[in-house]
Amino acid sequence: MPKTVRAPKLLYQVIKESIMQTYVTPLLREGGPIPSDRKLAAEYEVNVGTINKAIHELAREGLVERRVGSGTKVIPQQIVKPAVGIYFGDLVLDGSRQNAIYGKLDHALQELIAAADRSVRHYVDMRIAAFQGEPLPELMDDIRSSRLTSLVVARASYAEYEWLSRLPVPVVGNSVNFGGTSVHYDMRDAAKRATKHLVSAGCERIALVCPTPPGGSHTDSPLWLGVNDALAGTGLEGTAIRADTSVKPSSPGERIPDEQRGRAAFERLWEADERPDGVVVFTDVMAVGVIQAASEMGVAVGSDVRVVPFTNAEHLWPELESLPQMQLSMKKVAKALLDLAERLERGEVAGDENVKLTFRDGSKTRTRRR
């Protein structure tokens, strides 16, 4: 097979590249005039026709404009600064309070990026499930054009968005590790502190309401371990209850809302022979379902049963405002995500980071607001 021989560049092409580097590039941001064709011809020691052809190519590419009487000027270009990306996958913009949580995280991320004088690119992936296994085209375009330096994945599951782990830029996941690093929430510590609060309030039979892990096993769940950590040495070891949050879908593939799971879990707990007097609830949406079910069943929350939910957006759930709760600060999560992204951009080794929840006594907060 004959070898492919690359043709040498023509003289006007060589001069065009030199003019681009010497005169055009320095003026791309602000624009401005460059020397006349005659001056350039004298500088490069070529005829005016060769310079004219080089300038014509630059004009064709939209870099310069030529006007009779005013010469050749560089056209100001919009300089695209490299940016950090924020990716939201598996998101349905239905106005629900559950999705409003991600709006709060997005707001916190943007505030921190603006304070650092950096630009940001948003990617909201609302493709149907059949296409979620393939990279988002606009995101890949930005990577190829060097407009994206790192990516913060605010919402996406590893199972459906595994392609995120193969991107050639640093990726930081929110609760999901895509092969680089991630920010996790210290659920074991949160469950332990929530349970300790219930024990100190006199509760002797505590239930945990949280999604059932794949396969139904819960013995190694951080939440379950946290509950039992708190009960160790209290004489209540082995008394904790793991609530059943399962709900049979009405059709294959139907997603059951967490609120509905919370309702079903509390109904089962209260209909059991041994009722709990304290309940730890993972996710605020499930907690809303628990409160609704208790109200409908005539159960007084605070006296018949104490409830400590986990919340991740302040004042988003009026139903939970008066309850003691473990709160996750979106500002803390945003800062941890961006700190990891910046460390990875600098080539530093960055491991996973745990963000702790803080305890808030709802009754005291309510008193202060009166």
pLDDT score at 118: 77
Residues 158, 253 within the same domain: no
Dihedral-angle region of residue 111 (phi above 0 means left; psi in -120 to 50 means alpha; beta otherwise): alpha
Domain termination residue (choose one: 48, 74, 100): 74
**Which residues have a Cβ under 8 Å from the Cβ of 266 and sit 6 or more positions away?**
209, 243, 279, 289, 290, 293, 294, 297
Residues 192, 134 within the same domain: no
172: domain CATH number?
A: 3.40.50.2300
Count how many domains the chain has.
Answer: 3
In percent, how much of the chain has pLDDT > 90?
45
Residue 313, in any domain of the structure: yes
Tally of CB atoms within 10 A around 71: 15
Residue 298, in any domain of the structure: yes
pLDDT tens, residue by residue, 93-109: 555 666 677 778 888 88
Top mean pLDDT of 122-136, 281-295, 314-328 is at 281-295
Which amino acid would we find at residue 226?
A: G
Task: Look at residue 24 and tell me whether its pLDDT is greater than 80.
Answer: yes
Residue carrying the six token digits 């640093």: 170
The parent domain of residue 241 ranges over 187-328
Provide the CB-side half-sphere exposure for 255 (13 A, CA). Answer: 6
For residue 331, the SS3 value is helix
Beta bridge partners of 360: 325
pLDDT tens, residue by residue, 271-298: 999 999 999 999 888 999 999 999 999 9
Per the confidence metrics, is the pTM higher than 0.75?
A: no
Kindly tell me the burial class for residue 283, based on how many C-beta atoms sit within 10 Å of its own C-beta (0-12, 13-18, 19 or more).
buried
Residues 132, 175 within the same domain: yes
Residues 138, 254 within the same domain: no
Residues 212, 314 within the same domain: yes
**Structure tokens, 231:** 């009960």
